[in-house]
A and B are shown apart, each in its own frame.
Chain A
């Protein structure tokens, strides 16, 4: 197919070949790891900053403002300036905190997106880890983040932080279930947990359309639960600023605060990327039935562009939630999960299993 020409495999293969012919295998591995590490670090930093900028612009559009406009054209350097400010700020450690845990928490929080991003296929051949349990890996690793949030809330020795941390704990642990279950629903349809294969299986049509009703339910639940898991509005209880000032990161300043901030946005990206991969066909272009001409045009758009278009679509949707809805209350959030989403999800798994068994999908 036409879009195969955007495959990154030849590039990565040639780099690997070039290295292995010239240096020892150990050094090759080390160099490759370094390249990948640097690339991911750069990607997370740049993309995080970009998402902050995007959020400010999106929120400004919803609120009939212009958003940042002063630093650089249309304010594009604003977030970089903010980041430099955060880097230069003094790191204040309050007197009565548990110093070890207090300093540990931001690192635990930031480590999660670094781990999960490794299984995301950005484009054909552009994926660093291709486990056969990729989906499972993402759900498993992403639940580590809650420990960081709980630690931050506990170690800060601040009542607001404690309430925020506990809320966040209850909320994330609950919504893990929904995220996992809706992914399981799709795994039943796909028959595999390998991320690259899930994308490959959607060549003939995105799972959202292939799995029709149960997939749609799973997608809705995944977006809701994903929003909740990333602690974003209307589920931003952990840092509900009108109740808890800043929740679990009240006592953090400077770069430690930036870690929480960055982690939130990269988690947003991961959730959107997972939704894209599992439901919207990853980097697969949009094809419509047998409209050959239309499909050919779509094929000319590179997979990388497709991937980011879909991701931004979902990110925009989640931002839309945040800037429209009022915040839920803690008991309402848990009611929503345990009394509505979870039963629906369980039923949905059954539905999907029946459907797959009877071959009622496209």
Chain B
């Protein structure tokens, strides 16, 4: 008997079997139809294999049959939480290709919308990841404040989620007369509300234990895996397109690129919280100085891009979004490729979730802020 126990202790025979668990496609914490084929030993994650494609809608193929203004309307179906940034990316790409200079007013409006959209996205991320960690109350706090932004969007452009506000050459309508007043009121209000978010979760000891030191992504890996956005910046990878390749009104304003060093779940969390403050700073710099002028330049009825290839990068709430248009001079593009931030971010999950527990896998997914249609396109 003693010999058997000795044998069990000295060898690895005490090991239990590995087993596979499908997390998803329908699962509360995958935020959509993502399937993670997870190999577990007890509670410990040994391997995560993401299986995507459940909501693949063939947007890249569809664009080949559509004109450029039509493509804009497809893009906000990808990352629906960064709808305006996606719209803007295509618009900027088309404008750059045609060498169209949009009015200053458009640049300001677009940037304000970018940042409002970023705020709304981060709010939803905050509440949803709070829910992933088991704090259900957070969900309602976040959604409550997000309503205000959506109301502002609705007032100006009629849509709340998929804005479709940018069009090649400008924006679809001028801003609503109440826009500036409402945005300022919102920021005043949200500056008071945001510390509440920290009180509820960030300062909570259970929350910190759940996230600190968990799921560490090093800077080298962040660059190698192309992890951009707040998730990449939390690892120290300076990847803010707004800073390095400024577009719209970003060259005119002062803002910090928030950076982290640890690269763990908590840093990713904290960084997004900091970004919300920074977004409010950006909006405040712009909101009073929107120049007068046209809200769009007159574009041709049928937009034809010159022959060639065009690439435009923007910073969405999730990271770097790229539009690669190959044009053969017709009114439809020859090929459009969308470089979605979620796609690159998702596939690091196997790299960083190995060896952690299931609960940590959920926390890591939460802090990566995945939007599945953005990954599947």
Touching chains A and B, CB distance < 8 Å: yes
Which A positions have Cβ atoms within 8 angstroms of B?
59, 62-65, 159-160, 163, 167, 233-234, 236-237, 240-245, 323-332
Interface SS majority for chain B? helix
Partner of B137, one of A160, A167, A236, A323: A323
Which B27-46 residues sit within 8 Å CB-CB of chain A? 27-29, 43
Knowing A160-B21, A240-B359, A243-B29, the reply to whether A329 touches B136 (Cβ < 8 A) is: no
Is there an interface contact between B359 and A65, defined as CB atoms closer than 8 Å? no
List B residues 78-134 near A (Cβ within 8 Å). 130-134
**Distance between Cα atoms of A237 and B209 in the complex (Å):** 15
In the complex where A160-B21, A325-B204, A329-B210 touch, is A242 in contact with B357 (Cβ < 8 A)? Answer: no
Most buried by A among B19, B136, B144, B204: B136
Residues of chain A lying within 8 A (CB to CB) of residue B139: 63
Most chain B CB within a 10 A radius of its CB, from A159, A234, A323, A325: A325
Q: Is B357 a contact of A331 with CB atoms below 8 Å?
A: yes
Q: How many residues of B sit at the interface, in one of the four size bands?
A: 20 to 34
Say which residue of A62, A63, A241, A329 sits within 8 Å of B359 (CB atoms).
Answer: A329
B252 interfacial contact with A, CB 8 Å: no
CB-defined contacts of A325 to chain B, threshold 8 Å: 134-135, 204, 206
Give per-residue flags for B136-174: 1 if the beta carbon is below 8 A from chain A beta carbons, else 0: 110111001000000000000000000000000000000
**Nearest CB in chain B: distance from A322 CB, A:** 8
Given contacts A65-B140, A242-B362, contact A328 B210 (CB under 8 A): yes
15 of the cross-chain contacts (CB-CB < 8 Å) are A63-B139, A63-B141, A64-B141, A234-B206, A236-B134, A242-B132, A242-B133, A242-B134, A243-B358, A244-B358, A324-B137, A325-B135, A326-B133, A327-B134, A330-B359
Q: Which residues of B contact A (CB under 8 A)?
A: 19, 21, 27-29, 43, 130-137, 139-141, 144, 200-201, 204, 206-207, 209-210, 357-360, 362
Query: CB within 8 A of B133: which of A62, A64, A327?
Result: A327
Assess whether A329 is in contact with B144, with CB atoms less than 8 Å apart: no
Q: Report the nearest B residue to A159, measured CB to CB.
A: B21
Residues of A within 8 A of B200 (CB): 324
Q: Which residues of A contact B131 (CB under 8 A)?
A: 242
Is the beta-carbon distance between A326 and B359 smaller than 8 angstroms?
no
CA distance A331 to B358 in the complex (A): 11
B132 — which chain A residues lie within 8 A by C-beta? 242
Chain B residues contacting A245 (CB-CB under 8 Å) are: 27-28
Q: List residues of chain B with CB within 8 A of the CB of A159.
A: 19, 21
Return the chain A residue nearest B360 by Cβ: A329
Residue of A nearest to B361 (CB): A243
- Min CB distance B370 to A, Å, is 14
Report B-chain residues with C-beta under 8 Å of the C-beta of A330: 43, 357, 359
Closest to A170 in B: B43
- A140 vs B133: C-alpha distance in the bound complex, in angstroms? 33
How near does chain A come to B192, taking the closest CB pair, in angstroms?
Answer: 15
User: With a CB–CB cut-off of 8 A, which chain B residues contact A237?
Assistant: 359
Task: Say how far B34's CB is from chain A's closest CB, in angstroms.
Answer: 14
Chain B residues whose CB sits within 8 angstroms of the CB of A324 once the complex forms: 135, 137, 200
Residues of A within 8 A of B207 (CB): 326
Structural contact, A63 and B140, CB atoms closer than 8 A: yes
Residue of A nearest to B27 (CB): A245
Question: Contacts A167-B43, A324-B137 given; 18 further ones with Cβ under 8 A?
Answer: A59-B136, A63-B139, A63-B141, A64-B141, A234-B206, A241-B28, A242-B133, A245-B27, A245-B28, A324-B135, A324-B200, A326-B134, A327-B135, A328-B206, A328-B210, A329-B209, A330-B43, A331-B43
CB distance from A115 to the nearest CB of B (A): 30
Query: In the complex, what's the smallest C-beta–C-beta distance from A185 to chain B, in angstroms?
Result: 25
Q: How far is the CA of A65 from the CA of B141 in the complex (A)?
A: 10
Q: Is the CB of B359 within 8 A of A163?
A: no
> Smallest distance from the beta carbon of B130 to chain A beta carbons, Å?
7
Q: Is there an interface contact between A163 and B206, defined as CB atoms closer than 8 Å?
A: no
State how many angstroms separate the Cβ of B122 from the closest Cβ of chain A. Answer: 18
Within 8 Å by CB of A243, from B135, B140, B359, lies B359
Q: How far is the CB of B28 from chain A (nearest CB, A)?
A: 5
Q: Is the CB of B134 within 8 A of A234?
A: yes
**In-complex Cβ contact of A326 among B140, B144, B206 (8 A):** B206
Q: A64-B144, A159-B21, A331-B357 are in contact. Are A243 and B209 (CB under 8 A)?
A: no
Which residues of A have CB within 8 Å of B136? 59, 63, 323
On whether the beta carbons of B357 and A326 are closer than 8 Å, the reply is: no
In the complex formed, the residue of A with least CB distance to B201 is A326
Chain A residues closer than 8 Å to B359, beta-carbon distance: 237, 240, 243, 327, 329-330
**Pairwise interchain contact B358-A163, C-beta atoms closer than 8 A:** yes
Taking the closest CB of chain A, its distance from the CB of B162, in whole angstroms, is: 26
Q: A64-B140, A242-B362, A327-B359 are in contact. Are A332 and B135 (CB under 8 A)?
A: no
Q: Could you say which residues of chain B place their CB within 8 Å of the CB of A326?
A: 130, 133-135, 201, 204, 206-207, 210
> Which residues of A have CB within 8 Å of B140?
63-65
CB distance from B140 to the nearest CB of A (A): 4
- B366's nearest neighbour on chain A, judged by CB, is A242
Give the residue of A59, A242, A331 whose beta carbon is less than 8 angstroms from that of B28: A242
By the criterion CB–CB under 8 Å, are A242 and B29 in contact? yes
- Which residues of A are found within 8 Å of B29, using beta-carbon distances? 242-243
- With A and B bound together, what is the CA distance between A240 and B28 in angstroms? 10
Interface centre among A159, A167, A243, A325, by most B CB within 10 Å? A243
3 A-B pairs closest in CB distance: A327-B134, A63-B140, A326-B133
Kindly state the separation between the CA atoms of A100 and B115 in the bound complex, as whole angstroms. 58
Task: Known contacts A326-B204, A326-B206, A330-B43; decide if A63 and B28 are in contact (CB<8 Å).
Answer: no
Q: How far is B137's CA from A65's CA once the two chains are assembled, in angstroms?
A: 10
Within the assembled complex, what's the spacing in Å between the Cα atoms of A241 and B135?
Answer: 11
Which residues on the B side are within 8 Å of A331 (C-beta)?
43, 357
With the chains together, A63 CA to B136 CA distance in Å?
A: 8
A residues near B28, Cβ cutoff 8 Å: 241-242, 245
B203 → chain A closest CB, angstroms = 12
Q: Which residues of A contact B141 (CB under 8 A)?
A: 63-64
**Within the assembled complex, what's the spacing in Å between the Cα atoms of A244 and B362?**
10
Least CB distance, A248 to chain B, in whole angstroms: 15
**Which residue from chain B places its CB closest to the CB of A237 in the assembled complex?**
B359
| C-alpha spacing A327/B358, complex, angstroms | 13
CB atoms of A63 and B134 under 8 A apart? no
Which A residues are CB-close (under 8 A) to B362?
A: 242-243
Report how far A239 CA is from B131 CA in the complex, Å: 14
Separation of A163 and B42 alpha carbons in the complex (Å) = 8
**Alpha-carbon gap, A242 to B359, bound state (A):** 9
Task: Tell me how far the C-beta of A53 lies from the nearest C-beta in chain B, rounded to whole angstroms.
Answer: 18
Q: How far is the CA of A244 from the CA of B29 in the complex (A)?
A: 9
In the bound complex, residues from chain A placing their C-beta under 8 Å from that of B21 are 159-160, 163
Q: Which residues of B contact A243 (CB under 8 A)?
A: 29, 358-359, 362
